[in-house]
Structure 1
Amino acid sequence: MSTDLKFSPQPEDVADKSFDYVVCGGGTAGLTLAARLTEDPNVTVAVLEAGEHNIGEPLIDLPGQFGQQFGIPKFDWSFPTTAQKFSQNKEYLWQRGKGVGGSSAINFYAWVKPPAKDFDAIEQLGNPGWNWAEYAKYTRLSETFHPATEEQCALYPHTHDPTNRGHSGPIQVTVPHTIHTVDKLFQETLVNKGLKLIKDPYGGDTIGTWMASANLDPRTMTRSYAATAYYLPNRHRKNLILLTEATVARVLFATRVRGEDSELTATGVEFVHGGKIMQVHAKKEVILSAGCIQSPQILELSGIGRKEVLDKIGVECLVDLRGVGQNMQDHTYFGVSYELDSNAGHKTYDLMRDPEFAAEARKLHADLKGMQHIGITSFAYLPYTAATPEAPALIQRAAATVDALKKSGTLEPGPGQAEILDKQIENLKDDEVPDLEIITFPGYFTTITAPEAGKSYVTILVVLNHPLSRGTIHATSNDPFAKPEINPSYFENDSDLENLVQHIKYIRTMPDTEPWKSGIVREMDPGPKYQTDEELRRRRAFLPLLTCTEHLAEYIYDCHGTCWHTVGSTSMLPLEKQGVVSPELKVYGTRNLRVVDVGIIPIHIATHTHATAYVIAEKAADIISGRRRV
């Protein structure tokens, strides 16, 4: 790491000082927001980041290292979930970025955006201004798109629509190195199966098969993310300060005076640095950008949340805000892998398992060549109705689960949850809303069977986009260093499991279609052990007709895990719908406390959430500053 990148601010530069805005979390949204607010030289911002200063780390900067940061405390929080009652009591780890840039520093850098109808649904739930038209404007502010080179287009016909892309934003977006032989195999097969080939999926229409971009800087083929794009170019601003290794303990509020409005006024933040408790003061606002997991935890540590949760952890309840930590939704995923025809000349990521090849790829990266700057590029999204003739019956059964839940009396008070679930069922019936997602990883990416040296593989990754199951995230202690309790409630609604089974069934029809039929040798995972049959599962008394088979369900239980796209724990909804923040992102019951991160998304969207985190922060900057850049 060069000395120019070393972090200079010290605790004394922040402790007991006053800033206009104090941002809790130096991750994707936090750094974006801080950079935009400090474009006004008269505005001061302090950012508190619990992780280390990781800018310049090769393990972050160099692409082609999918998940290698996971489990390393310097880079990853590694949050455990509770044992999952509906997934064979398994516990899962949720990886989240720890350090400057947050999860944008450790994700798989696929630059993907939602379908228009998914984002419009957020507005329809009671959030004026949070729609696709607004999304399209703000996402262009965040990016600079670099088209594929002539050399890339000679191998694969990359297409794009420049009107859908940004051309002057901080995040550099380009077409990464692709395994064009595998991309052709996947794309041509799906087109032959009837899917539409999309020229550019960044205009709100994602149903079909298409090639994704990646947030890589084509000048260096290194990761372009919040730290390098929004913070690093602005680090010398006198009105912006970022303090790392500063763990937020709680938000501080002014003492209420009898007869005053009941809303709380945030005056600053208490944080821990080097084992010492310190405070920083906010003249205007405190903003939580700690992510879907830790923003609700900070709210609860600050006395905002469910009274019964706060009583349990010994925190005085200042605002009994019922939605904090509720309505959490997570994308879960797993893979289906195939061995490729060895005579087809594929050069897949499997080569990187050879240490000598990997070392050579690292050397080639300096010349912008080689497999080190590979990306995950081939995506396909399709509605339920295009995936299986069983769709009408399956949708009807999903609707029955929602009706049963509403009649059971176990839904949270207020109309919010019922309205969201009804909206999801409505979307399941809509041919313009994608419910199934499959992604091509050009290599072996499953865990049941071991790959063989010298062979090439392809893995089709499966993602559950619109889960009907709802989870929770809550603090377990008043200690800010204690990890919160995460219960995603995977498969509490059986329709989620059924959706994933249908993914597998659809993928297993691909070998009936050319060129997939001739291009693959055999299915590796799940493999012959996991076959469908006519035995109907009866895991729920109220769902006797569920069509998931035990075998495929077992494979899903064994292999699924978080897709790192959690939303909803600080939902943007009207208060009477059990919302946590308003459309202006203010926490209900407060004058000047906001949440700005993906936790505000109240209904899940069929996309990877990285690009959307920038959109939320870009829009929040205009809301907070009162300006309008789009």
Structure 2
Amino acid sequence: MTENRYDYIIVGAGSAGCVLANRLTEDARHRVLLLETGGSDKSIFIQMPTALSIPMNTKKYAWQFETEPEPFLDNRRMHCPRGKVLGGSSSINGMVYVRGHARDFDEWDSEGATGWHYRNVLPYFRKAETWAFGGNDYRGDKGPLGVNNGNNMQNPLYKAFIRAGSDAGYFETDDYNGTQQEGFGAMHMTVKNGRRWSTANAYLRPAMERDNLTVVTHALVHKVLLDGKTATGVRYEQGGKVHEAKAAEEVILSAGSIGSPHLLQLSGIGKREVLEKAGIEVKHELPGVGENLQDHLEFYFQYRCKQPVSLNGKLDWWNKLKIGVRWILRKDGLGATNHFESCGFIRSKAGVEWPDLQYHFLPAAMRYDGKEAFNGDGFQLHIGHNKPKSRGFVHVQSADPKQAPTIRFNYLQHEADREGFRDCVRLTREIINQPAMDEYRGAEIQPGAEVQTDEEIDAFVRQAVESAYHPSCSCKMGTDELAVVDPETRVHGIRNLRVVDSSIFPTIPNGNLNSPTIMVAERAADLIRGREPLQPSDAPVVMDDQWQTRQRPGQAKRALA
């Protein structure tokens, strides 16, 4: 068994781990080891944005986790892929860039993650990015992460969808990551110069030029090494050999919302009954490890398109070849976008303070994994209720680190979540039936006009919903009995051990998780280094001043909150 010594050991080269590797090695005095189970991200299928469905469904690049039968989804097992490659899930995701609503982070602060309110986190969102249209009080212009709008909504269906939202009485928003999330507008993506701009491209590659960073791939971490209640290093396997690495300062888990709780449990940190059932010695009882698991669900609302403008006409082998060759030669065209170029964020009902429903608009009718393309022209909306009340868990099954944990989200367990999806169906139909869509809207393919009653909608949703691939909150940050880390991201009761990734979110934000995960890592890096936090922002947030009494604003005056 070989042994090496470092100042910091980071487990997981994903959305958070790559950020930490970069920021911690800015100080040349810090020797950092970054461990990743996967390998290189240089595949064309990772780097080409339009090929996003391939790495997500490839064992080489993603853990192909599957849930236990979900009792409120007719006992379906749900696919839960997680990145297993440099860049982690930022190398296999849909590249959608959504920070979440300002109130999501105020909610974190109120849940016990003191200091993680919107005023404090906005500067770290700005620090992380370079927004293609220039910096301002909300957007950054000097950060590693390139963000743009893909092909700038050249397909007419994108803008028709935005106009339909306006026709239905909702806001149009110039920047849902800026002043105002609520409304319909252009969607943003982590693409730069036509390439997927993962955290591997944005953060890790520049850091790998530094002598004080060591990156080890194909390394499966077995456990965190403990000396009493102090983390001293990790044990990992590479090429059939077992190694130990020691950390003089800290061990930081950035293995994601499945990997981080699983690794804590393998190390003897977690709920006593879960560890004992798996035959693992309890080193530190921490009941919240693996609990509070949350995710977003979504389904596809599909329509025929009356005009031949959708992407369905580009799915034959000849057009795919042309798109691929153009991307290889020029890094532009349809190969340089994820195709989700317009979107919407709305509130499901009066009395909901900030948006809890999210739309991704796609000018094609197909599955997210690229399969089962509709025969003919069509378009679809990915729609989901994004503030679920249902909670699940990640539980270790055995002391063998190669055995996947038990995962169950308990999707739609809570009646409020089922009600939210009924709102999704009814509000979407109203939006798509606005005049702006008249020249494009054909017959409803899915759910189908016959699905009308609560019971019919519920039955459709149980069979049609899929994960939006946003597992989170399984090592929540806070101070209550289920909190795993404190507001400094330190594991309660264990010295020199932190968790920094989406697992520490107290609640799931209204949006995709890559951006807030990067923000968490940026802020955590300052906490780890003992640096003064960035100056809080006073940038105002636009809200509907009558949210308590109406579901949409119509043409009413907006209010600054």
Task: Tell me if both proteins adopt one fold, taking TM over 0.5 as the criterion.
Answer: yes
Tell me the TM-score normalised to structure 1 length: 0.81
Displacement of 1:179: 4.2
Q: Relative to structure 1, is the Cα distance of residues 450 and 275 closer, same or farther in structure 2, using a 3 angstrom cutoff?
A: closer
Task: Give the drift of 1:452.
Answer: 5.2
CA distance in 2, matches of 1:517, 1:289: 47
Q: CA deviation at 1:53?
A: 2.1
Which of 246, 264, 267 is the aligned partner of 2:232? 267
Q: Which amino acid aligns with 2:222?
A: A
Mark the CA change 1:107 to 1:560 in structure 2 (over 3 Å): closer, same or farther: same
Would the alpha carbon gap of residues 204 and 281 (structure 1) be closer, same or farther in structure 2, given more than 3 Å must change? Answer: farther
* Matching residue's letter, 1:26: A
State whether structure 2 residue 396 is matched by structure 1 residue 489: no
SS in 1 for 2:50: coil
Say if 2:161 is the partner of 1:186: yes
Does 1:370 pair with 2:333? yes
Note if 1:212 corresponds to 2:187: yes
Pair 1:475–1:182, CA change in 2 (3 A): same
2:9 is aligned to 22
Deviation per CA, 1:326-350, whole angstroms, max 9, x where unpaired? 01111011111011122xx52x322
1:154 aligned partner: none
CA contact (8 A) 1:446 1:525 kept: no
How many Å apart are 1:86 and its aligned residue? 1.2
Q: Is 1:353 aligned to 2:315, yes or no?
A: yes
Aligned to 2:543: none
Question: Counterparts of 1:559 and 1:461 in 2: how far apart (Å)?
Answer: 12
Pairing partner for 1:229 from 202, 212, 229: 202
Alignment of 1:451-600 (within 5 A): 453=375, 455-528=376-449, 530-533=450-453, 548-549=454-455, 551-574=456-479, 576-600=480-504
Match of 1:118 in 2: 104
Distance 2:144 2:332 in 1: 24
Alignment partner of 1:95: what SS? Answer: strand
Deviation at 1:196, TM superposition (A): 0.7
Whole-angstrom CA distance in 1 between matches of 2:382 and 2:497: 39
State how far apart, in whole Å, the 2-side matches of 1:181 and 1:94 are: 33
Unaligned ranges ≥5, structure 1:
1-11, 148-159, 257-263, 386-390, 392-428, 534-547
- Structure 2 alignment gaps of length 5 or more: 535-561
Deviation at 1:314, TM superposition (A): 1.4
User: How big is each residue's C-alpha offset from its partner over 1:47-88, in whole Å with a ceiling of 9 and x where there is no partner?
Assistant: 11111122x210100011231223311111010100011111
Cα contact 1:297–1:475 (8 A) shared by 2: yes
Give the counterpart letter for 1:357 in structure 2: N
How far 1:511 sits from its partner (Å)?
4.3
Looking at structure 1, the residues matched to 348 and 457 of structure 2 have their Cα atoms a distance apart, in angstroms, of 18
| Partner residue of 2:352 out of 430, 434, 444 | 430
Distance 2:304 2:372 in 1: 11
> Helix, strand or coil: the match of 1:121?
helix
1:204 deviation in Å? 5.3
Residue in 2 that maps onto 1:174: 148
Q: Which has the higher helix share?
A: 1
Tell me the distance in 1 between the aligned counterparts of 2:389 and 2:296: 11
The CA deviation at 1:138 is 0.3
Distance in 2 (CA, whole Å) between partners of 1:246 and 1:122 is 33
Tell me if structure 2 keeps the 8 A contact 1:288–1:295: yes
Question: What is the alpha-carbon distance in structure 1 between the residues aligned to residue 275 and residue 332 of structure 2?
Answer: 54
Q: Any runs of at least 4 consecutive aligned residues in structure 1 with deviations exceeding 6 A, and if so which?
A: none
1:470, 1:204 → 2: CA distance?
31
What secondary structure is seen at the aligned counterpart in 2 of 1:251? strand
d(CA) in 1 for partners of 2:136, 2:186: 15
User: Is 1:314 the equivalent of 2:279?
Assistant: yes
CA contact (8 A) 1:110 1:377 kept: no
Q: Is the 8 A contact 2:166 2:184 kept in 1?
A: yes
Q: Aligned in 2, Cα 1:452/1:200: closer, same or farther, shift over 3 Å?
A: closer
Matches within 5 A, 1:127-146: 127-146=113-132
1:96 aligns with 2:96: no
User: Structure 1 residues 180, 279: closer, same or farther in 2, change over 3 A?
Assistant: same
Aligned CA distance change for structure 1 residues 45 and 511 (closer, same or farther; 3 Å): closer
Q: Distance in 2 between matches of 1:626 and 1:214?
A: 32
* Paired residues of 1:334 and 1:446 also in contact (CA < 8 A): no
1:271-290 Cα distance to aligned partner (Å, 9 max, x none)? 11112221000001000000
Aligned counterparts of 2:525 and 2:91: Cα–Cα separation in 1: 22
Letter in 2 for 1:430: V
> 1:568-590 CA distances to partner (integer Å, 9 max, x unpaired)?
1000010x332000000110111
Q: Which has the larger radius of gyration?
A: 1
Instruction: Compute the TM-score of the two structures, normalised by the length of structure 2.
Output: 0.91
- Relative to structure 1, is the Cα distance of residues 617 and 517 closer, same or farther in structure 2, using a 3 angstrom cutoff? same
Identity %, equivalent residues: 31
Aligned-partner Cα distance in 2 for 1:459–1:57: 29
The offset of 1:430, in angstroms, is: 3.5
Structure-1 separation of matches of 2:221 and 2:463 = 36
